Structure 1
Amino acid sequence: MGITIKDQQEIQGMRTACRLAAEVLDHLTPFIKPGITTREIDRIAAEYMKKQGTTSATLGYQPAGYPPYPASLCTSVNHVVCHGIPNDKPLKKGDIVNVDVTVIKDGWYGDTSRMFVIGEASIAAKRLVQLTYEAMWHGIVQVKPGVRLGDIGWAIQKFAESNGFSVVREFCGHGIGRNFHEEPQVLHYGKPGTLEELVPGMTFTIEPMINAGRRDVKEFGNDGWTIVTKDHSLSAQWEHTVLVTESGYEVLTLSEGSPTPPPFVKA
C-alpha cells in the first residue's frame, strides 16, 4: 500500500481522532503520580474512551508474529523503550513513564504519547525527558512540502546526539489514517535530502525514542511486546501526529492539556 493523501474531509476526520487521543492524555494527567499502577492508568483510559465514543486501537492489536496486545494503551517505564504492557507494579517517585494512546473515531486513527515524571526525579532523567521532547519538535519543524523524510530524521538525530544521547533505530514513526500503520516509515535518524518527499495531505507520526545510554535494544521477557534498552539506561519518547499542509505543518494531536512547544518553535 502506497502513501495515502487525505482530502479536506478526510483531514477533518483525522483532526477529530487525533484531538480525542490527546484528550485521553489530558484526562489521565492528574492521576499519574506515585502509587498508581499502570494497569489502573489503563483502566481509567478505557473508561474515558468509552465516554468519548472512541475505541482503543491497541487492545487486541495483533500484527503478524505478535500475540494480541492486551491493553488499551502502552506504558513504558524507565528503561522500557516502547510497547510496555500495563501491570500491577505501582509507580514510584523518580520514575519516568511514557503513556502512548491510539484511538479510533469514525474509522480514523489518532496516535500520540507523552512522558510523565513521577514525583521528583533525577536531573539526568528530567533532562532526558525534556530533550527528547525538543528532539521531536526539531523533527516536526522540518515538515513542509518538498522536504524529505531524511531531513526529519537527521534533525532529530543531530540534536539528540549533540546532547550525548542515542536514537533507537529499530522503531520509527509511520503514516496513519484509516489504518493504524501506513506508509511511509518515518525514521528518527538519517541523511538530509533522502527518502520520500513530503506533499500536502500526508499524515504521519513523529515519535523519537531516545536513550540516555547506547542505542541498542532487546526484547524483555516473553510477553512478545516489551522492548528495553540493552544497557538498562533510561529511555524517553514523545509522539505527535502531523499533517503536511500547503505551507508547512499542522500538529493534529494538540489539546488544551498538551505541553507548550519549545521556544524555538514559531507559532
Structure 2
Amino acid sequence: MVELKTPSQITAMREAGRVVAQALAAVRAHAAVGVSPRELDDVAGKVIADAGATPAFLNYLPGFAKTPYPAVTCISVNDAIVHGIPGEDPLAEGDLVSVDCGAFVDGWCGDSAVTFAVGEPAPADAALMEATERALHAGIAAAVPGAKMGDVSAAIGEVCRAGRFGLLAGYGGHGIGRRMHEDPHVPNEGRAGRGLRLRPGLAIAIEPMFNIGGRDDSRLDADGWTIRTVDGTRAAHFEHTIAITEDGPRILTAL
C-alpha cells in the first residue's frame, strides 16, 4: 500500500535526511588512500549516534538475505555495485567508492548514496559518476505531481542507454517513510506515461546504479550481500530521498 505523507511528516523525514547527508559528507571527507571501508563505516556510525539517530541498515534483514546486515553503511568498491559490506582492506589511489547510508530520526527514515573516487578518478570512472548522478537528477526532475512513475524511470534509463552503460537488472528505488523500504517500487528504466500517478505526499528514494561494462546482469558474493558486475567493470550508485509536493520534488537528503 502506498502511504502519502503530510507536510509535517515530510518535515520530520527531512531531519532524518539531514543526518544521512551529514554522515555521507563525513565519510567522503575521511576517505583517503590507506583508509579502510570499515573505518569509514565507523565515521558514519559516529555521526548518526551523535545526532541521536538510529542506523537503518545495521541488523536489517530483508526477505532476500540469509543473515542480518552487519554494518551501518553499505560501502561498495570498484566492481561492487551495491550492498558491499565494509571490510578491512585499505583503499588505494583511484578506487571508486559507493557509500549508501540510511538513518531513522523520531521514527522516520532517510536514505541516500554517493559515489566518489579516492584521489584522481580515471576518465572512464569520472564519466560513469557524472552520468549516474545526472540520471538521478533527471529522475528527480521528472517526479512532479500528475506525472507517472514511468516518467521517472524513463528519465533515468535514457541517460543510462545514451551513455551505453549497464543498469543493474531488477533493482531500483523504493517508497520510504516509517520503514526504509515501502511501496512503491521505483524502476530505473521504463516507459514514460505508464505506472503509478505521482501525488503530493509521496516519498520515494530514487537510486540509479550504472556500470561501465554495459551489462545488466550481476553476481552475488559468498557473503550473501555484495552485488558485483559480472565482467569486473566498475559501477556507480547515487541516491536521494525525495518528497513530491505541490511545488514539485523536494530533496530530503541534501546537506
Letter in 2 for 1:250: R
For 2:151, the equivalent position in structure 1 comes to: 151
1:45 is aligned to 2:48: no
The answer to whether the Cα contact below 8 Å between 1:216 and 1:231 also exists between their aligned partners in 2 is no
Letter in 1 for 2:13: M
AA aligned opposite 2:173: G
Distance 2:248 2:87 in 1: 40
Deviation of the 1:160 alpha carbon: 1.3
1:254 aligns with 2:254: yes
State the Cα distance separating 1:205 from its structure 2 match: 0.5
**Which AA in structure 2 matches 1:204?**
I
- Determine helix, strand or coil for the equivalent of 2:145: coil
1:49 partner letter: I
In 2: Cα distance, 1:247 partner to 1:146 partner: 12
Q: In 2, distance between residues paired with 1:210 and 1:184?
A: 21
2:51 is matched by which residue type in structure 1? Answer: Q
CA drift at 1:65: 4.2
Contact 1:21-1:102 within 8 A present in 2 as well: yes
1:25-78 deviations in Å (ceiling 9; x for gaps): 122222111110000001111122111111111110011241100001100111
Deviates more, 1:40-49 or 1:98-107: 40-49
What residue in structure 2 maps to residue 93 of structure 1? Answer: 93
Aligned 8 A contact 2:84 2:227 in 1 = yes
The aligned counterpart of 1:57 is 56
Q: Deviations over 1:121-153 (max 9, x none)?
A: 210011101111101111110011111111111
Contact 2:19 2:47 in 1 (8 A): no
Partner of 2:32: 33
Amino acid at match of 1:100: D
What residue number does 1:265 align with? none
Partner SS for 1:74: strand
Amino acid across the alignment from 2:5: K
How many matched pairs? 253
Separation (CA, whole Å) in 2 of partners of 1:69 and 1:185? 21
Whichever residue aligns with residue 172 of structure 1, its letter is G
- Separation of aligned partners in 2, 1:74 and 1:16: 21
Residue in 2 that maps onto 1:22: 21
> How far apart, CA to CA, are the structure 2 residues paired with 1:65 and 1:140?
28
**How many Å apart are 1:247 and its aligned residue?**
2.9
The structural deviation recorded for 1:8 is: 1.7
Alignment of structure 1 residues 146-225 onto 2, 5 Å: 146-213=146-213, 214-220=215-221, 222-225=222-225
Structure 1 segment 210-249 matched on structure 2, within 5 A:
210-213=210-213, 214-220=215-221, 222-249=222-249
Alignment partners' CA distance in 2, 1:235 and 1:147: 29
Amino acid at match of 2:6: D
**Cα distance between partner residues in 2 of 1:65 and 1:115:** 25
What TM-score does the superposition give when structure 2 sets the normalisation length? 0.97
State how far apart, in whole Å, the 2-side matches of 1:170 and 1:211 are.
Answer: 14
CA deviation after TM superposition for structure 1 residue 212, in Å? 0.8
1:167, 1:215 within 8 Å by CA — same for their partners in 2? Answer: yes
1:207-249 per-residue CA deviation (whole Å, 9 max, x = no partner) reads 00011111111102x2110100111111101000011011311
1:109 and 2:147 matched: no
In the alignment, which residue of structure 1 is the partner of 2:123?
123
Q: Return the alpha-carbon distance in structure 1 between the equivalents of residues 174 and 141 of structure 2.
A: 17
The 2-side partners of 1:97 and 1:71 are apart by: 16
Name the CA distance, whole Å, in 2 between partners of 1:62 and 1:118.
30
Which amino acid is the alignment partner of residue 48 of structure 1? V
Q: Is the 8 A contact 2:83 2:226 kept in 1?
A: yes
RMSD after superposition? 0.9
Mapped to 1, the partners of 2:248 and 2:42 lie a distance apart of 37
Counterpart-to-counterpart distance in 2, 1:24 and 1:201: 26
Alignment partners' CA distance in 1, 2:232 and 2:206:
24
